[in-house]
Copies of this chain bind each other. A is one copy, B any other.
């Protein structure tokens, strides 16, 4: 139903846009075609069905690489390639936790990436429940000697996903707990849902390290309720191992530019995922949106001037892709004229940010009209952080653009078993493809040199 009503609205809007310049006409045709196109859905359905979860270093990760190379080739991308890099990888083992006393209950937990394992017999200790991460930081060293520290800090739901930044700090708290004497650290899942499925992620404390896991949201509340009544003892088992010889990768394919093939716009998503779900929104969606957008542009009678390169980054969740990508492309850095990443799920985009000044050029004066039927506004601000996998490029001076997506639901599912194709809305997925395809076409075909600052 959503798709039907958007299509009708776009059809009406196209009457007014018939007076647009030639390239805006191509862009609006791309936008309209994308809304009814099934490429992105098919990519995402294929990835989640045929591969599923694909944590780095797993057999499924190897299959994902082959899937990515085959899919890029099948869609007609040129210069399909793989760039490998070494990185020690963490592998989850069997995990469990339970309240021993006074109220025996099983707990839903999931170990955080890079957590230390417990001993085979597990850790059995009394818990201390803190309602915020600030309470942990405020405690003197040694305060929690021999205890398992539990931080039950709530995450706030926001459209732009900004509640995540505040909440995720607690997930990096294992070292702070260790400094204060804790023998293990349990953190409320960084989630806006009330599902019992725990949400994983990395534990990135600087050290010292202790075993660390996320509790299901109701389980964190449960421990808080129990602790009000008196001492609570829990038993925690976390098994894991490190493969020091793992080889990871980034893979990519191109839509070659018609006039300036050496000037490259790097876009993409990440193909690795966490293990409990099937990685549909994190980040199968970003892979699907950017591949589909580039594929639609590839089908035009004439390619835009510059080359569009879609990179399927191979290690976002545990980091590594972005540094490896910069290292491998230092030689062509001055030719990477723009970069962007889609990594905030499959729900609709509501805002576009372009490099400072671009929005005020005559060439891009038609852009707000182009994106208005998609209910996306073009911001006058330049992007901040535009994606984990391109942050090294960005730091090295590559200009970036950024679509902001509605993240209201994203953190209900992200990094949990609930990240599956079942939660993807095909109409919203295609709204993203329409926005990317039309905007990307204009950027790739633009006469503006985005590397010049300020834009004239």
Chain B residues near A218: list those with CB within 8 A.
278, 418, 420-423
Q: Is A181 an interface residue (CB 8 A)?
A: no
**Smallest Cβ distance from A342 to chain B, in angstroms?**
22
Question: B103 to A49, Cβ gap below 8 A?
Answer: yes
**Smallest Cβ distance from A101 to chain B, in angstroms?**
12
Q: Is A59 an interface residue (CB 8 A)?
A: yes
Question: A196 to B197, Cβ gap below 8 A?
Answer: yes
Considering the complex, which residues of chain A in the window 208-241 have a beta carbon less than 8 Å from any beta carbon of chain B?
216-218, 221-222, 225-226, 229
Question: A422 to B217, Cβ gap below 8 A?
Answer: yes
C-alpha gap A217/B194 in the complex (Å): 18
Question: A418 to B194, Cβ gap below 8 A?
Answer: yes
C-alpha gap A216/B277 in the complex (Å): 11
Given A195-B195, A196-B277, A197-B197, A222 and B103 touching (CB < 8 A)?
no
C-alpha gap A205/B45 in the complex (Å): 34
C-alpha gap A423/B218 in the complex (Å): 9
Considering the complex, which residues of chain A in the window 19-75 have a beta carbon less than 8 Å from any beta carbon of chain B?
45, 48-53, 59-60
Q: Is A108 an interface residue (CB 8 A)?
A: yes
What 1/0 mask marks residues of chain A from 175 to 207 whose CB sits below 8 Å from any chain B CB?
000000000000000000011110000000000
Question: B418 to A222, Cβ gap below 8 A?
Answer: no
Question: A51 to B194, Cβ gap below 8 A?
Answer: no
What 1/0 mask marks residues of chain A from 367 to 405 whose CB sits below 8 Å from any chain B CB?
000000000000000000000000000000000000000
C-alpha gap A453/B435 in the complex (Å): 68
Interface residue from B52, B53, B221 paired with A421 (Cβ < 8 Å): B221
Question: A222 to B105, Cβ gap below 8 A?
Answer: no
Q: Is A134 an interface residue (CB 8 A)?
A: no
The total of chain A residues at the interface (CB under 8 A) is 36
Chain B residues near A422: list those with CB within 8 A.
194, 196, 217-218, 221
Q: Is A104 an interface residue (CB 8 A)?
A: yes
C-alpha gap A105/B53 in the complex (Å): 8
Question: A222 to B421, Cβ gap below 8 A?
Answer: yes
Chain B residues near A104: list those with CB within 8 A.
59-60
Q: Is A80 an interface residue (CB 8 A)?
A: no
Question: A417 to B108, Cβ gap below 8 A?
Answer: yes
**Smallest Cβ distance from A68 to chain B, in angstroms?**
15
Given A277-B196, A422-B194, A423-B194, A52 and B221 touching (CB < 8 A)?
no
Considering the complex, which residues of chain A in the window 86-109 have a beta carbon less than 8 Å from any beta carbon of chain B?
102-106, 108
Question: B105 to A52, Cβ gap below 8 A?
Answer: yes
Chain B residues near A53: list those with CB within 8 A.
105-106
**Smallest Cβ distance from A54 to chain B, in angstroms?**
10
Considering the complex, which residues of chain A in the window 136-183 have a beta carbon less than 8 Å from any beta carbon of chain B?
none
Question: A103 to B418, Cβ gap below 8 A?
Answer: no
C-alpha gap A233/B196 in the complex (Å): 29
C-alpha gap A182/B407 in the complex (Å): 43
Given A45-B225, A105-B278, A196 and B52 touching (CB < 8 A)?
no
Given A218-B278, A225-B49, A194 and B420 touching (CB < 8 A)?
yes
- A and B contact pairs by CB, cutoff 8 A, 22 listed: A49-B222, A49-B226, A50-B103, A51-B103, A52-B103, A52-B222, A60-B105, A194-B418, A194-B422, A195-B417, A196-B197, A196-B417, A196-B420, A197-B197, A197-B417, A197-B418, A216-B417, A217-B422, A218-B420, A221-B420, A221-B421, A222-B278
Partner-B contacts on A (CB < 8 A): 45, 48-53, 59-60, 102-106, 108, 194-197, 216-218, 221-222, 225-226, 229, 276-278, 417-418, 420-423
10 closest A-B pairs by CB: A218-B420, A218-B422, A52-B105, A194-B422, A196-B417, A49-B225, A50-B103, A195-B418, A196-B418, A194-B423
